[in-house]
Amino acid sequence: MHLLVNGTRQPLAGEIPVPPSKYHAHRALVLASLADGTSRIRGVSENRQIRYTVTLLRGLGVGIRIKDDCYVVHGTGGHYPARRTALSAGNSGTTLYFMTGLASLADRPVTINGQKYFRRRPMGPQLEALRRMGVRLDAEENRTPIRVEAHRPCGGRVRVPGTLSQWISGLLLLAPFATGPTTIEVTGQLNERPYLELTVAMMRRFGLRVRVADDWRRFDVEPGQQAVATDLTLPPDIGSAAFGIAAAALHRSDVLLRGMDRAEGGSGDHPEFHFLDVARRMGVPMTPEEGGLRVRHDGSPLKAVDVDCRDMPDMLPVLATMATFATGESVFRNVAHTRLKESDRAAAMLQLNAMGGDLDLSGSTLRVRGTGRLRGARLSSFNDHRIQMALAVAATAASGCSTLTYPRAHRTSYPAFVTAMNSLGLSVSTENESIARRTRSHDRRPIHNPDHAARSTLPQWLRRRAADRPDGLALVELRAGRDDRLTWRELAERVDRTATMLLRSGVTAGDNVAYQLPNRAEFVVISLAVLRIGAVCCPVMPFLRERELAQVLRQSGARVLFVTDRHGTRRPAEELAQMPARERGRLSQVYVLPEDVGPAGIPVPTADLTWHDWEQALADTAIDQDALAACEPTPESTAQLLFTSGTTGEPKGVVHSSGHLVRAAAMEIRHLGLGAQDTVWVPSPLAHQTGFLYGMVLALVLGVPQILQGEWETERALRALDEHGATFVQAATPFLADLVKAVKDSGRTPRRLRIFVATGATVPRGLAARAGRVLQAAVCGAFGTTETCLAALSAPGDEPARRSGTDGRALDGVELRITDGGRLLPPGLQGCLEVRSPTLFTGYLDRPELTADAFTEDGWYRTGDLATMDAAGFLCVTGRVKDIINRGGEKIPVAEVEQLLFEHPAVEDVAVVAMPDRRLGERACAFVVLGTQLSFAGMQRYLEERRLAKQYWPERLEPVDALPRNPIGKVEKFALRERARGLRPHPVRRSRQSMQQKGTR
């Protein structure tokens, strides 16, 4: 399910009721629960977080009932007669922070828990302060669940950082009920002071005494106080009204926010009261009138502002949206603590860049340069109510349609948000994905349903695109000095012409057609032409030389080959001409493509081969639609023969059907929520599955442009990302590392890039996390093989630690398991990774024995990888079975050691492999690419500091200029193992040597 928002240019009119303030409600309910007597709080809130506070208080024995529009709270006099020992704060951070300390006033021990994302919430400083006040609690790693003993606090002098006001408020609410006086001192930067002012004001209203220093950095509270029952009326919630004000500001409007007249004429004690001042400074025309606050204008422009967010951090998302439509540059300062909320709110609002905004986050400052107009996009709410509502308001003023994840997130604080927006004439609705897709006029086909998508072949998808939007951009090829473009009509025409040419060359359905080309438009054209007539694509990596090409030609039996006349310093066509005839298998016809414009350089003809100039042959061919219609392939037709990258030194031909390829692309599209607003950047070789399937095929099925980069040059890549608005890329570790370095060196962040799926090789977790921050995009871990296609993938909406810190979770329809000797292992244990998937390959070409060996008796594919999987299904690949280092019976966790070494500032790249040893069998050798000097002793000190078991330490550090990698970034460890055969461990001191003789190190 998604929240679907359609942009509109129509004026808004109507009125929306503003709910009561949740900030007042939380504090009033908590204080009323501690009072001696009955309090009445007028203004019942539908806010889910308030409901969690009410539920938790009831669990502590507080009588709370709702009568008409009033909470009737029967206070307990400061002693909670707990009814339950297990309490939940749900998804309310305020409930958690306020009630953790107060739970010590219960008459028996209680445990407080909450939703899973609270495991990321920082609570250490508050819990430490509570402990110093005498609260007896136990919390593993200072995270929920928290067990609180029944023991009244003793007070004392405590210090707490001013990072979050909720930490301080939680201490203040507890202090009057301690047995001794309490002094609370705030250290560091004080954020969110208005929230503290509200806490103190509400405490005083309930008869509690608090002395506050002028700078609000010291609080003195007397012990043994008694709260007094109170009746009060909750003011309107400015935090909710802000979204109505913002929506009215972005459109021509005549909107009344009912109930806001009390906020305008009141004391201004609402923590977000200053939002109204900022909105006025931005030029929002707000007029108080009887019954509410009216926003009326006919296109009034917004102005840029400079705001210190320490006092109203929760307003950052909606203000960032408004600033995107303002004239000039708005600056939001001191935003660091907003990144500790339900999500990293400052970073989350950078998604406006994907809509055409211009935001930059640097340190604790967010700068927003107004652009005036946005376009629809697929966005993540991060299950954060304020992020979702702020982005939804932005989407109402964008062109086209936007979709947001977690459609119910707004119910946490403003359940009536969708109703309120629609009442003004906007279009905001909760729809499932297929309905959302059908609203897009340009594409009504089920690309997000893999079962339906796989019923059409790639040529059929191409014809649909050409019919639906013939002049739409289909492909961009980055060339030296220029970029070549093809529309869908032009691409379809070239494909049909090339397919006719293949038929005239004698190619028939089921034939393997080989082509050795870099990433260029002709690769896409030839691939689709081969599929158009039911033949089989057999791409060859362009870097392969005569030996490897001969092997492909012999195994595939290809009779037609496409090559370039030049590729860098090489001459592929001439190399082929000089290859002995017996090495070329059944090859009989060669089409030569020029590296650039002009006729191709064809070598001296050979007797056994017919040579063609590609451009001339294509010009001489007229499309024969009747002949093409006679050989229409089916989804079950074999479509691809791809030879494995060969990190083991033994490439095998992997066979896939058309349906498998389309299904695999659609599965990723659905998992990541890709849509018509995306543009696919393809730096990965098209001749490898990453580029072929998750570049070319994915873009075709999705119906969006693909940007082909043939020669990897980082500066060109960074420039092309912005020039062509690329939003998605799937590529290997080296591409990610180079891009991060380029961004850091240049200071230019890709403005629209939002998802980078890192595949092909294990991505260092530190690099992935750093890349997410530097690129301001979601870096998603993934796992797949040539045989399985993608099997596991994280998503932008996953919590950051899992998004970039794992290899993802199983795609819908895929099953993963971890085994040891056929025994299924429980979560967390390392074992052999096995996959069962609807996108598994058909088999290895002409190798039935290898195909059979690849599967277990019950039909699961053996990946050859070692991995762990947690209880939530997130995968961590820890290495290859063949990478295991067995040191005297102790198996070394290679991936863990590599990850640790990669985090050393001197290490730019690392691979750990086995080094033969007579006594222990094997020892570990670390091959490292160094940016600065690192000695063997320095490595040992570093691993000691990281507390890595000494048995796992590499016993040789071998510097290299570069690690041997195949074109998709996988380290060729077989080459390193061969090199390690001639190496020996570094000498060690006698004392350590004697330890080694005991096998303990």
What integer pLDDT is reported at residue 889 of this predicted model?
Answer: 64
Report strand pairing: 292-297 vs 253-258. Answer: antiparallel
Quick one: the chain helix, strand, coil %, rounded to 5? 35, 25, 40
Please report where in the chains the tokens 């502590």 appear, as a residue: 60
Active-site annotation, residues: 314
921 annotated among ligand-binding-site residues: no
145 upstream amide cis, omega within 30 of 0: yes
Please indicate if the annotation marks 998 as binding a ligand.
Answer: no
> Quick one: three-class SS letters along 237-252?
CHHHHHHHHHHHHHCC
pLDDT score at 433: 37
How many angstroms separate the CA atoms of 262 and 296, rounded? 19
pLDDT for the residue 445: 42
What is the reported pLDDT for 761? 60
Vertex 229: Cα angle to 226 and 233 (nearest 5): 135
Tokens standing for residue 151: 């023991």
Tokens found for residue 418: 């969708």
Mean pLDDT by 10 residues, the chain (1001 residues): 84 88 93 96 86 94 89 95 91 91 96 74 88 94 91 95 92 97 94 90 96 96 96 91 95 90 52 86 92 90 93 89 96 84 83 94 93 88 90 92 87 84 84 38 54 92 91 91 90 97 96 96 98 97 85 95 91 92 94 81 81 93 93 94 66 92 94 88 94 97 94 89 92 88 88 88 76 89 94 87 90 95 92 96 93 93 92 88 75 81 92 85 92 94 85 93 79 89 77 36 38
**Residue 341 marked ligand-binding:** yes
| Residue at token pair 């039911």 | 534
Query: Within 10 Å of residue 304's Cβ, how many Cβ atoms?
Result: 18
Domains of the chain: 2-17+236-438 (3.65.10.10), 22-233 (3.65.10.10), 884-997 (3.30.300.30)
Between the alpha carbon of residue 947 and those of residues 926, 929, 936, the distances in Å are 18, 23, 17
Cα 452 from Cα 781, distance rounded (Å): 27
For residue 712, count CB atoms less than 10 angstroms from its CB and return exposed for 0-12, middle for 13-18, buried for 19 or more: middle
Cα–Cα distances in Å, from 931 out to 168, 189, 907, 927? 45, 37, 6, 13
Q: What is the model's pTM?
A: 0.55
SS3 795: coil
The annotation status of 345 as a binding-site residue, yes or no, is: yes
What pLDDT is stored for residue 268 in this prediction?
47
Rg of the chain on CA atoms, in Å: 32
- 179 in helix, strand or coil? coil
Helix (H) or strand (E) holding 264, with range, is helix 260-265
> What is the spatial distance between Cα 386 and Cα 392, in angstroms, rounded to a whole number?
10
Q: Are 783 and 790 in contact (CB under 8 A)?
A: yes
**Number of CB atoms found within 10 A of residue 192's CB:** 25
- Please report the pLDDT score of residue 447 as a whole number: 63
Place of tokens 């995968």: 875
Q: Is 165 annotated as a binding residue?
A: yes
Report long-range pairs for 441-447 (Cβ below 8 Å, ≥24 apart). 442/468, 442/469, 442/676, 442/703, 443/468, 443/676, 443/703, 447/666, 447/669, 447/701, 447/702, 447/703
